[in-house]
Amino acid sequence: MPPAAARRLDPALIVILAGVVAALHIGKLPPAIPVLRDALGLTLVQAGFLLSLVQLAGMTLGVVFGVVADTLGSRRSMTLGLVLLAIVSALGSLMRGVAPLMLLRAAEGFGFLLVVLPAPGLVRSLVEPQRASAMIGLWGAYMPLATALALLFGPLAIAAIGWRGWWEALAALSAAMAIWLRHAVPADARPTAASSPLPSLARLRMTLAAPGPWLVALSFAMYSGQWLAVIGFLPSIYVQSGIAGATAGVLTAAVAAANMVGNIASGRLLQRGVAPSRLLVIGFVTMALTATATFAGAGDSGLSPTLRYAAVLLFSGVGGLIPATLFALAVRLAPGEGTLATTLGWVQQWSAFGQFAGPPLVAAVASTVGGWQWTWVVTGACSVAGLLLTFGLSRLPARILPHHGQALRSR
């Protein structure tokens, strides 16, 4: 897009769109799994690891990349990440075996981190204070929006140009987004860590010494692990049930899109003063109940397919209250302005751990019992842990939450 046209769109929205493009590389795999299993001989557990390997960088180096993003500056970090995603996705389209494809999926995680870690702080800096909570809620929808788009258009693209063409198309889109972001978003839109008096190790120590980032990060792991495990395998579950690929893609895309509703609603509710702890409790309880209804309710004596699908929609939609709330808390609980990306890196590290561990664990359970009927045990355990962490967040003393302690317990 020409620079003059790009400037007509709110720069904060362009930052969110860049996050969506980066997240498309996470969501591009689920619709391709049935094809890859035929083309490359993937086992179900290998497919689970292929789903989660893109999170390896975040799981091991999320907080380090947060420090890097704080140092590079927001726009530079996001542009570099998009370029890296474009290169790695293009290389992935050339692979002929499972092992090299897995290595490149892990490499995509580094580009993804460079894009998404500085984004929430950059969005906050580009909007008026009264719009900040709503825009952070909109940012929280970047992942489900990308997942919905990938699940909706992925099967169509794979049918038309193959999985390799799908990889190449997303590489081209990432390159175009990098150019647009470079022209449309102001350089150094917020003070960066490069201009901060705090050295990198001091920012890291401040972040890891604060209780808030730990509780938010672990809560995100409990959410992300179960959400990706369920959404990532839905296309395969539908195919096994005899539902056509395009229809399976539409059904799963609707589930992912429902998550956007929860994210956006969370931002609005936070802006109106609803307590974050209340939103987290509603989200985790609903995910536990609906996952149980969906998977334990399978079979002749269980719920009808229509009711089970409705439960999946609620699982994703009401569960969407959680990530936007946690993003808002992460920004609030950063120990200092120069530690925003570092704090988000720590949150991303644990979120990535959840996404790395969730799909293979669910796949292993399904393979062991010969079906998906015990999936609810894994998701339910995550929800219970999330509720305990929410209780910890609600008990943080006001002195640890300057200007925000009361908000956690109000209403």
In sequence order, what DSSP letters do the residues of 174-243 get, joined into one string? Answer: HHHHHHHHHHHS-TT-S--GGGSSS-HHHHHHHHHH-HHHHHHHHHHHHHHHHHHHHHHHHHHHHHHTT-
- Mean pLDDT, residues 246-267: 83
- Mean pLDDT, residues 172-194: 79
Q: What is the pLDDT of residues 133-159, one digit of tens each?
A: 788 878 878 888 898 888 788 888 998
More confident residue, 200 or 289: 289
Note the pLDDT of residue 16: 94
More confident residue, 337 or 264: 264
pLDDT band at residue 8 under the 50/70/90 scheme: low
pLDDT band at residue 337 under the 50/70/90 scheme: low
Q: What is the pLDDT of residues 91-133, one digit of tens each?
A: 998 888 788 888 898 889 889 989 988 888 888 888 887 787 7
Note the pLDDT of residue 402: 42
Q: Does the pLDDT at position 189 exceed 50?
A: no
- Mean pLDDT, residues 219-243: 80
Q: Does the pLDDT at position 5 exceed 50?
A: no
Note the pLDDT of residue 317: 93
Q: What does pTM read for this prediction?
A: 0.74
The SS3 call for residue 276 is helix
Query: Considering only 10-24, 44-58, 78-92, 271-285, which range has the smallest mean pLDDT?
Result: 44-58
Q: How far is CA 339 from CA 70, 192, 202, in A?
A: 7, 9, 9
Q: Does the pLDDT at position 22 exceed 90?
A: yes
Residues 6+ apart with CB under 8 A from 2: none
Query: Considering only 100-109, 235-244, 397-406, which range has the smallest mean pLDDT?
Result: 397-406
- Mean pLDDT, residues 334-346: 78
Residue 304: HSE in the Cβ half-sphere, 13 Å Cα cutoff: 2
Note whether 43 and 98 are within 8 A (CB). Answer: no
- In terms of average pLDDT, the best of 112-121, 158-167, 323-332 is 158-167
Mean confidence (pLDDT) of the chain: 82
Q: Does the pLDDT at position 163 exceed 80?
A: yes
